[in-house]
Amino acid sequence: MLTRTPSERPDLIVVGAGVVGAACAHYAVRSGLNVTVIDRGPVAGGTTGAGEGNLLVSDKEPGPELELALLSAQLWRELAKELPAAVEYETKGGVVVASTEADLSALRDFAASQAGAGVETYEVPHDRLADLEPHLAPDLAGGIHYPQDAQVQPALAAAHLLRTAADPQQGSGRLTLRLGEEVTDVLKGPRGEIRGVRTPAGDLLAPHVVNAAGTWGGQVARLAGVGLPVLPRRGFVLVTEPLPRVVRHKVYSADYVADVASGSAALQTSAVVEGTPAGPVLIGASRERVGFDRTLSVEVLRRLAAQATRLFPALAEVRAIRTYAGFRPYLPDHLPAIGPDPRVPGLFHACGHEGAGIGLAPATGLLVAAQLTSRQLPMDTAPFAPERFTEESATA
C-alpha cells in the first residue's frame, strides 16, 4: 500500500500531460494521492492534441485490448456526466462498411467474434446503409453498426480531466501541474528505487513516477535505466470546412481494421470519416514509421481524399481547409505498457497505446491508481506488463 509522503512532496509524479497522463492523475488524486503532473510542453501538446478523439471498440479483436476498451467505454460514460459539454463527448456509434461481398463476409465473422466478447454489433445490409448514413456511396455491399463507439474532443478532455482532479471537492488528494519543464533524468536511490525526477528547474522528489510520455515513453524509460520499445507511427488528418451533419457516425472501410493490427513500417491508408459537433469533417487514417519526421506528404493527403470521396461522393465538392500530423506511440505487440516495472521499484508505465490512447485512457488511469494503492483490479493486467519485452526488442 502506498503511504503518503510529507505534505511538501507529491506521492506521485506523472510524466506527460496528454490524455493518458491526465487520466492517471485524475484517478490517483481521487484515490487520495498528491500528484504532480510534469510536461515539457502544454497540456495535450503531443499525440493527444493531434488525435481525432476516437473511443472505439469496433476495431479491436477479442482479447486484452478489447477488454480494456470496454472498461474505458463504461468509464467515459461516467466521466461524461461530470465533465463539461465542451469536451464534446458524443455516443454517435460507428459504421464499418465493405465494398464487396467477400469483405462483408469477413466483417460479419469479425463482428461475431466481438459479440461473444461483449460488443454490440448489428449487420446493416446494402439497402439499409442509407438509413444510417444518407450520403454514403450507393454501391457498397453492406456494413456493421457499432453503437458503443463514441468520440470526444481530446485536448479538452485532457484539460478537464486535470481540472476536475484539481477540484478539492472531488477527491482527497492534491494536483500540481508543472508545464514547460522537460524531465532530463529519473532519480534513483541506492537500491535502484525511484526517488523522483530532474528538470532544468531542479529536482522534484517522490517515491513513484508514472511514465505517461506517449510516443516519447521509450526515452523516459531509458532515463530510468530500462528498455521499452516505443516507436513513433506517423499519421495525417484532413479537416474540411464546417458542414451540416453530412456524416453522422464514425465511418470507415474494412481495410482500417487490418491496418490497425499491422506492424508494417510502410505507408498504409484506409478511409476513416467522421463529422464533429463543431461542423468540420475529419478524414484519416494513415500509418507509417518514419521516425519523428513531420514533413507534409502530399501523396498521403491525396490518398486520404480519394478514399474518403469513394465512401462519401458529396465530399468531392467540399474544401479541405487544413491538415495536421501526429505520432502514435507504437509497441510491437500493439498492446500498451500499463503498470509497475519490476526492474525499477516505484516506476510505473502508462504508454504505448498507439492510436487508441484517447479511448483507453480512463481504464489505464484507473488501473494505475488501483495498483498504486493496492486496490482490487477490475481486470487482468498481465498482458500489459512493461517487462514483457526482451532486452533485444526493447533496444531495437
pLDDT for 220-268, tens place per residue?
999 999 999 999 999 999 999 999 889 999 999 987 776 555 556 678 8
Residues sharing a CB contact under 8 Å with residue 135, sequence separation 6 or more, in sequence order = 246, 247, 312, 313, 314
- Cα–Cα dist 45/162, whole Å: 14
**Mean pLDDT to the nearest integer, 345-367:** 97
Q: What is the pLDDT of residue 287?
A: 87
Cell numbers given for 20: 493518458
Pairing of strands 202-205, 337-340: unpaired
Q: What is the pLDDT of residue 107?
A: 95
- Cα–Cα dist 381/385, whole Å: 7
For the chain, list the domains and their CATH numbers.
12-52+154-229+333-394 (3.50.50.60), 94-147+231-330 (3.30.9.10)
Cell numbers given for 290: 518514419
- Cα–Cα dist 207/196, whole Å: 6
pLDDT for 173-227, tens place per residue?
899 999 999 999 999 999 999 999 999 999 999 999 999 999 999 999 999 999 9
Phi-psi region of 88 (alpha: psi -120 to 50; beta: other; left: phi over 0): left
pTM: 0.94
pLDDT at 395 over 70: no
- Cα–Cα dist 225/284, whole Å: 36
Best-predicted range by mean pLDDT (206-215, 265-274, 317-326): 206-215
Question: What's the chain's Rg over C-alpha atoms?
Answer: 21
Cell numbers given for 335: 498492446
- Cα–Cα dist 159/344, whole Å: 30
| Cis bond before residue 224 (omega within 30° of 0) | no
Give φ, ψ of 173 to 5 degrees.
-90, -175
Give φ, ψ of 290 to 5 degrees.
-130, 30
pLDDT for 1-55, tens place per residue?
444 444 568 999 999 999 999 999 999 999 999 999 999 999 999 999 998 899 9
| Between 254 and 375, residue with greater pLDDT | 375
Tell me if residue 300 falls in helix, strand or coil. helix
Q: Mean of the per-residue pLDDT values for the chain?
A: 92
Q: Tell me the H-state helices in the chain.
A: 19-30, 64-80, 101-115, 129-132, 154-166, 217-223, 255-261, 298-311, 357-372, 391-394
- Do 239 and 282 contact (CB within 8 A), yes or no? yes
Q: What is the pLDDT of residue 3?
A: 44
Any idea what DSSP says for residue 27?
H
Q: What is the pLDDT of residue 1?
A: 43
- Do 71 and 239 contact (CB within 8 A), yes or no? no
- Helix axes 19-30 and 154-166, enclosed angle (nearest 10): 20
Give φ, ψ of 114 to 5 degrees.
-70, -40
Q: Tell me the H-state helices in 204-297.
A: 217-223, 255-261
pLDDT for 101-112, tens place per residue?
999 999 999 999
Q: What is the pLDDT of residue 266?
A: 72
- Cα–Cα dist 375/384, whole Å: 18
pLDDT for 124-176, tens place per residue?
999 999 999 999 999 999 999 999 999 999 999 999 999 998 877 666 789 99
